[in-house]
Structure formats: C-alpha cells, structure tokens
Amino acid sequence: MLAVLPPELHPRHQPTKNEVFDLIKSGDNLRPVQVCFHEASPQSLIEAVDFLLSANQEWIERPYKPRTSVPDMIWSGYDVEALRHNIRKILVDSLDEYQMFVERNQIPLKNSFYLHQPVAIIYAANLTEWASAKGFANSPYLKTYIVKNEDHKIPKIAFIDTSEGQHDLVVERPFLKLNGIHREIIGGGDGGPDGLFESLPILGRFYFMLQSDLQAEFKYDFQ
C-alpha cells in the first residue's frame, strides 16, 4: 500500500524531503491506496529497492520537474523552467545513460548512430512558445539538425532553447554554426514533441534509440 499526500501538499506544492518525513512520522492525513503495476512488476520494485539499499542510496528524487497547472494537451501545464529542465534531461542527459545501458547489457552495437557515428544531433525549440501553446492549431514542434562532426568539437547531442536570449545557434542552410563552430547539415527535420511527455520519456527514448541502432546493425525491420 502507498500513502497519498493530503490535498494541501498536492499537486501544486512539491513537498520538501523534511515535509515528507514529518508527514510520515505524524501518521496524519495519510490515505492508503492500492498500488497498480502498469510499467513494472512488484518483483522489479523489490529488486530496485534492494539495489538502492545495497548502494547505501536511501533517498531518490524524480528526474523531471512537475506540471504547475492542469493540462489540456499532453505538452501543456509546464512552466518554461520545467520545460528547460525536462527536455534537456530527456534529449541530452539520456545519451550517457543509453551508453551505459548498452554496455551493461552487452548489446553488440558496433556502429551505433548515437554512440559511434561521426555526427552530432542538434535539437532546437522555442520553449517559451511551448509553455503557452494552446490546442492543436498551436502545437509546438521540435527542430532537429544532423550535422557532420568528425572532429567531435561539438557535443554529440545538444539542445538549444531559442527563447533564451542570445542563444548560440545560427542556421544558414546547408550549414549551421553552434558556439562559433561551423557544421554542414546532412539531415534532420521537424516533429511534434509528444514522445517527450510520455509517462516514462527517457525509457521511451532508450527504446527508440535502441530500435534504430539494432535496425541499422542487423538490417532488420522491427515494424
């Protein structure tokens, strides 16, 4: 069973670590609810807790900043700072986690697009517009640029919020400049952001990256 936070602590106010501990100790305003396992089994939860305890990790925090208002679309309800935190974590920070995932699971990728190819992926979006987008007519979009990067002078994956004042991305096709470094654009496009707002966005991104890498590695269509 799990305890649900009282209304005054949920969902707009994110409780601090001390508030959570104090509430548990008090025993007040705790409403037990049945746990539903949709993405993981009870055994997986037990194994995860055992692993954290063996690593002396007694406290974990959610990797994403939450919504601050009730959403009407999958991408809405987030303020700009939450979007900047979450999108970078999903698109950029996930690369190191993906590499660790591949290595620890001994997945035989020899020419991964994300890990081995001499290219870089640059994502760009106006997150101020994302935060205020209403309805399908104003659906936000994410620009993707794939560029040559033989000298590895720019990060393998970068995200630019074009609403952040003096950003460092200038696009003049067929080239762009990132942080003063010129690169030739060899691919990319525009797309919707829906996949970034799933219940487990980094896990979904892992599977997308792994599927595309395996398709290229073994010339197999998983569709």
- Provide CB contacts within 8 A for 92, sequence distance 6+: 155, 157, 158, 159
Tell me what pLDDT residue 11 has: 47
Tell me what pLDDT residue 134 has: 83
- How far apart, in whole angstroms, are the C-alpha atoms of residue 195 and residue 201? 7
Across 30-39, 83-92, 132-141, which has the greatest mean pLDDT? 83-92
Query: C-alpha angle 96/58/39, rounded to 5°?
Result: 60
In the chain, the number of structural domains is: 2
Q: Judge if 85 and 41 occupy the same domain.
A: no
Q: Judge if 102 and 44 occupy the same domain.
A: no
Q: Judge if 119 and 11 occupy the same domain.
A: no
- Looking up tokens 């974590």 gives 89
Q: Judge if 128 and 194 occupy the same domain.
A: yes
- Provide CB contacts within 8 A for 130, sequence distance 6+: 75, 78, 80, 83, 140, 193
Q: Judge if 21 and 104 occupy the same domain.
A: no
Asked whether 113 and 216 are in contact (CB, 8 A), the reply is: yes
What pTM did the predictor assign? Answer: 0.78
Q: Which domain holds residue 98?
A: 80-218
In this model, does residue 95 exceed pLDDT 70? yes
Task: Write down the mean pLDDT value for the chain.
Answer: 84
Q: Judge if 180 and 89 occupy the same domain.
A: yes
Mean predicted confidence (pLDDT) in 125-148: 89
Q: Give domain status of residue 59, yes or no.
A: no
